[in-house]
Chains A and B, each alone.
Chain A
Amino acid sequence: MPLRVLLISLFHPELVRGGAQQVAYELFQELRQRADIETFLLASLDETYPSLFKSGARITGFDGRPDEFLFLSREYDYWWNKLGDPLLIEAFIEFLQTIRPDVVHFHHFLTFGIDLISVVRRVLPTCRIVFTFHEFMAICAANGHMVRRTDGSLCDHASQVRCHQCFPDRPPEDFLLRKMWLMRHLEQVDRFACPTRFMIEHYVNWGLARGKVFHISNGQRSYATNPSRANGTAQLDRSGPKVRFGFFGQLHDTKGLHILLRAIDLLRAEEITDFHVEINGDNIRFASAAVRAEIEAFLAAEQQRSPAERLVIYNGSYHVDQLPQRMSRIDWCIVPSIWWEAFGLVISEAWMFGKPVICSNVGAMAERITDGVDGLLFEMGDPRSLAAVMRRACAEDGLWQRLHDAVPSPPTRAAMADGYLRLYRDELTA
């Protein structure tokens, strides 16, 4: 009997870009290639995509793709993380009874509701429930970033009063209830997975049983057109200083592009201008007003300069298929995030092309990059620290080559799927 696996994904990466859905879909694609596994994908969609909502439907197929389904979420309560419409829950129950999965693997609860975990347990009592965390949404109501809204500092634990300080309109009691509500449903999960080890500590400190939480790296197929980082090597062959930096990612506050721009200002003020930075990404509409204004003003001012004086080039958004081309234009990949980062897919993507990473010295970034060995770390949120590291990266002979040679291979999607299959089959021990 094949193992029937249902993957539950926040959004479909074809429709809404994002790391969690990308990883879920990579896993879906990999599992479909495995013998003795039957894999199904239920990806949510919210009201931002009305053209795919069919009248009276709650779950539909997706674009003629076999075993891919859309969950048409609506009226989602983003505070309590629950659906208000019983019809959606009825439809989910019917879907479970039709698919009859042996494993239900949640990659998120957002847009579905945390209580759907308990629904799975009730409808399919012997089903194995797996949950992968892609940020700290259960612990932290502030978008799961664990960044304090009071001063932008990193938060290392939640409490009623600390959370109330981030949400002054919410009394401390609401956070006791929030945790009780989320924990009540998470208790139904058999196994949790985190892509980095430091995340496990956050969740265990929060209250999950250590023996239930496992480390499984996010894996991707390699986007390099030639395997084994051929593209990067090709660039290496072009001799010359390694002074081309790249930023890849969403232009949100937490991704820290503004920190990079401030570092560039500092270098320019020191009259260090023999480098340039390429920015790849979009969704600036989700940035805060202040950060958005800062980024837009910087890019506008840059446009005013003569081409020879420009240090920053904005390339706009990109699809993963464009990565080889975008990565070929840089030497270093900068990840200046001002939150913990759950994993940092962009680090894996840089590694695919042999690009050493310069990143903030916290969380997933600090876990994955060893300073001076396979990349460089700087003080999170500190433009002076980043400027100093960029100065060193441009100037130090042999540094790029040494780091490049030590860049590890990124975790593969096959390895990720192997890890999850062992989790599904209960072959992993804590």
Chain B
Amino acid sequence: MPRLRRRDVEASLSFSGSYQHGFWAFVGAEDMTGPRHTLRGTESTLELCYANGAIVELTRVPDVVSDTDLRDTVMRYFASCEYWGNRSIEAFTGLDEGVGDAFINFNRSISHSFRSQPLVERFGQTQRRPKVSIIVPIYGIGDYLFLQSCAFAQGRDIAAYEFIYVVNSPELIEQLCREARIAQMVYGLAQTLVALPGNAGFGGANNIAAQFARSDRLLCLNPDVFPRDRDWARRHLDILTNLPEAQTRLFGSSLYYDDGSLMHGGMYFEVDSGFRFGADGTTRRGVVRVEHYGKGAPSWATQYVASRPVPAVTGAFMSIDRAWFEKLGGFAEDYVFGHYEDADLCLKSLLAGTPAWLHDIGMWHLEGKGSRRLPQHEGGALLNRWHFSRTWLPAIVPDVVGRTPQHRLLQMTAKAQVPPAKPLGTKSAVLPPRAGAAKNRTR
């Protein structure tokens, strides 16, 4: 059972030690799907059996809440927990003991329920067979649909793309339908809205939207991604046409902040070590940290945006061969709300033999502005980091760790260094510096 620090208990007992008096539990998750019938206002009794044989009965009138409210409540609580020692390590240790899995199962059942009830609205005349299906999940903020419509509606070859917005916020759907209708009138844009009755999370939403795609190429975008130049759609198609399939099966793009500096030139993994000091001795635990190449670098620092295989690319802009996406099983739906699904998918792809690539298309990414961040998302982020670390640490260490990982598929082969048939814009394809390659950056 996860333990935690209770300052109120410490104060009440005038306790000055480092004991974690508190605990929390998440039980009965397997019984929790489907309708449950509890009379509001009736008392329930919880029996606590201590290891020393003591039994305590707690009688309370429980709050009866919906599944999604319970999910939010638990994640808000988890985010607010305090511990003695390293916060992440203590929180993760608590999750190890069953509560983490129980909650992930519970969340998965919620997501599954939502994603199995999509309402699909189509606006405008769609072309018979688009070449690319753009999929954008919307959560919390409705303004990005009209902003993306205006930005994406122009530019060469955009007619070969279809737009699918998958909506995780049902309260936005009427506004979004109006916006889609306006986009149809103002730009002649055809859009599909896939409305879900609740937040199915990033993975669930993208996966269900992919089922409505009519092309062989999925382009997953965040709502806060915008083209820097209007030829981006053609450049994306050129990459698909001109580069070897292995370099385009799954790829991301250079992304830039609003200030013009680089936001993303691919992602890599570092492993942080945390320590836990208990009665059973000191334990060290590795926690995976996802970093971006060249974050904040000036836009002329082309080494970060050169075409190359990278450990992962962000889901803010991810172009995937549809068959490959389906073969990999789509995005994982284990993550709560969203985070790490992109890195997870890239690692699955790498293990299946195809690394993610980065190509320099150049888009704005107003990171973090496209959705609303709530306190429960902090809890989700912590739980997701735990789940991602325990899932992928064995695969990441030692070959995929660090800025210059040793994994053979992440080495540029001589063949891969041949520049593409059509140059991608004006930037030269400079390889990233390999000077640090010799250093073993794992700990």
Which residues in A have some Cβ–Cβ distance to B below 8 Å? 80, 82-86, 89-90, 93, 115, 118-119, 122, 160-161, 171-177, 180-181, 184-185
Contact = CB atoms under 8 A, between A and B. Distances in A.
A377 B198 CA distance: 63
5 contacts: A84-B178, A86-B178, A177-B366, A184-B154, A185-B150
Interface string B177-203: 011011001111000000000000000
B147 interface: yes
Contacts of B224: 173
Nearest to B181: A86
A256 to B, nearest CB: 35
A349 to B, nearest CB: 39
A118 B150 CA distance: 10
Given A115-B182, A122-B187, A177-B366, A184 B258 contact: no
B143 interface: yes
Main secondary structure of the interface of A (DSSP, over half): helix
A128 B226 CA distance: 29
Main secondary structure of the interface of B (DSSP, over half): helix
Contacts of B259: 160-161, 172
A82 B150 CA distance: 12
Nearest to A117: B186
Given A85-B178, A115-B150, A184-B154, A173 B258 contact: yes
Given A86-B182, A86-B185, A180-B150, 16 more contacts: A82-B146, A89-B186, A93-B185, A115-B150, A118-B187, A119-B185, A160-B258, A173-B224, A173-B369, A176-B366, A177-B147, A180-B151, A180-B226, A181-B150, A184-B151, A184-B154
A180 B369 CA distance: 16
Q: Which 9 A-B pairs have the closest CB atoms?
A: A173-B366, A176-B258, A86-B181, A173-B258, A184-B150, A173-B369, A115-B186, A118-B186, A86-B182
Interface in B54-83: none
A201 B366 CA distance: 29
B185 A171 contact: no
Contact of B175 (A84, A89, A171): A84
A174 B182 CA distance: 21
A175 B226 CA distance: 14
B92 interface: no
A115 B184 CA distance: 12
A334 B146 CA distance: 45
A189 to B, nearest CB: 15
Interface in B340-375: 364, 366, 369
Contacts of A161: 259
Given A86-B185, A122-B188, A172 B258 contact: yes
A83 B181 CA distance: 12
Contacts of A171: 369
Nearest to A84: B178
Contacts of B188: 122
Contacts of B151: 180, 184
A82 B186 CA distance: 12
A90 B182 CA distance: 9
Interface in B163-184: 175, 178-179, 181-182
A85 B182 CA distance: 8
Interface string B216-237: 0000000010100000000000
Contacts of A118: 150, 186-187
Contacts of B369: 171, 173-174
B186 A122 contact: yes
A403 B178 CA distance: 58
B185 A89 contact: yes
A263 to B, nearest CB: 43
A161 B186 CA distance: 30
Contacts of A86: 178, 181-182, 185
Nearest to A82: B146
A143 to B, nearest CB: 21
Contact of B226 (A85, A90, A177): A177
Choose among B143, B186, B226, B364 the residue with the greatest number of A CB atoms under 10 Å from its CB.
B186
Contacts of A80: 143, 146
A161 B259 CA distance: 9
A123 to B, nearest CB: 9
Contacts of B226: 177, 180
Interface string B265-309: 000000000000000000000000000000000000000000000
B260 to A, nearest CB: 10
Contacts of B179: 84
Contacts of A174: 369
B371 to A, nearest CB: 13
Interface string B125-149: 0000000000000000001001100
